[in-house]
Amino acid sequence: MDGRNDFRQGADRIAVHPAVGSGTEAPDPPVHLAIPRPATRPDSARILAGILLSVAAATCFALLDGVVKALTPHHHPLMSAWARYAGHLMLMVVFLGPRYGLGLVRTGRPWFQVARGAVILGATASFFTSMLYLPLATAAAISFAAPLVITALSVPLLAEHVGPRRWAAVVVGFLGVVIVMRPNAGLTHWATLLPLAAAFCNGAFYIMTRMARRTESPITSLIYPTLVGTVALGVVLPFVWSAPTATSAPLLLATSVLGGLGHLCLILSLNRIEASVAAPYSYIYVVLMVLIGYLLFDEIPDLWTILGGSIICASGLYIMVRETRQRRAAGP
């Protein structure tokens, strides 16, 4: 679940400004992390590559959650989450450590970064734990309420203006969440609150990431959630540890690989196309979760899940389209 939110925040990762320690000295010139775009490459080819990479990222994240679901009979979800975070941290240290050294973790707001890491860890832990109880399609549909949360929180926390149309989309989207959860049908499992909690945590994480842009390096903001998740879950790990088996060990390794590949594809995608172009393709994740649930776990979503999930996705897409149009109308 942590990766899905990056479809929205990844657009900010263009250049790295080393963190300003005291807030008074001038920062060093930006260090560009994005892979350079070939100047002669046609726009159509670049856009197509960005879209394909966006689809690949959504595929990796869906497969990641499917693997976590498959691991639930063997290991506690928090152990799977630790494997996912630890592997991702290792990849970042191996590939970025030689170039940036301690600059990876240098920050002027350490407690804020730790708080960001704790929030996204809450999203991951909540969503992974929901795999114990819920069908994949149900968990995925509810978790995609995150864009609605972001829109609602942007008013009090970022002082942004949200017009009546987007507020209407938020209300309609949360009606979709209610349809999926069906609190009055006597069929609601308490675990449906877990992906909803994950959606709120993802929304809060995105808002905090927007706030961090003012003073923090994007590379620092990228590594801290992984570092916090690895350390925090490492403390819990002895209490949920179970020895990997010949079956589960490759799956635990796959969580790291899929998480790392998903983030890599996402960043490469957002180096080629705008977040507003990439975001709609993230909803392929929901379709893939339905397919994985059906093919691997014999899970067939009911009519209410399909209806509510469609309303949630449609509301989120409308908000994205509306925000994009207003941003373009406002100009640079």
Confidence (pLDDT) at 28: 42
Contact 27, 218 (CB under 8 A): no
- What is the three-class DSSP state of 134? coil
> Would 1 be classed as within a structural domain?
no
Q: How far is Cα 310 from Cα 305, in angstroms, rounded to an integer?
A: 8
Question: Domain of 145?
Answer: 6-17+40-330
Helix (H/G/I), strand (E/B), else coil: 34: coil
Q: Are 202 and 146 in contact (CB under 8 A)?
A: yes
HSE-CB at 112 with a 13 A cutoff on CA atoms is 17
Instruction: For the chain, report the end-to-end CA distance as a whole number of angstroms.
Output: 32
Instruction: Check: CB of residue 142 under 8 Å from CB of residue 148.
Output: no
Give pTM, 2 decimals: 0.77
28 assigned to some structural domain = no
Report the distance separating Cα 90 and Cα 105, nearest Å.
Answer: 14
Tens digit of pLDDT per residue, the chain (332 long)? 555 554 444 434 333 333 333 333 334 444 444 444 444 445 778 888 888 988 998 899 899 999 999 999 999 999 999 999 998 899 888 888 888 888 888 888 889 999 999 999 999 999 999 999 988 988 988 888 877 888 888 878 777 777 888 888 888 988 888 888 776 555 567 888 999 999 999 888 888 877 877 777 777 878 898 999 999 999 999 999 999 999 999 999 999 889 888 877 877 886 787 766 666 777 788 889 989 999 999 988 888 888 988 898 888 888 877 777 776 666 65
DSSP, res 26: P
Place of tokens 């449609």: 314
CA–CA separation, 118 vs 259, rounded Å?
18
What does the chain come to in residues?
A: 332
**Distance from C-alpha of 249 to C-alpha of 197, rounded to nearest angstrom:** 29
User: Which residues, other chains included, contact 142 with Cβ-Cβ below 8 Å and sequence gap of 6+?
Assistant: 177, 180, 181, 192, 195, 196, 199, 312
Domain assignment present for 25: no
Q: What one-character DSSP code corresponds to residue 91?
A: H
Look at the chain and report how many structural domains it folds into: 1
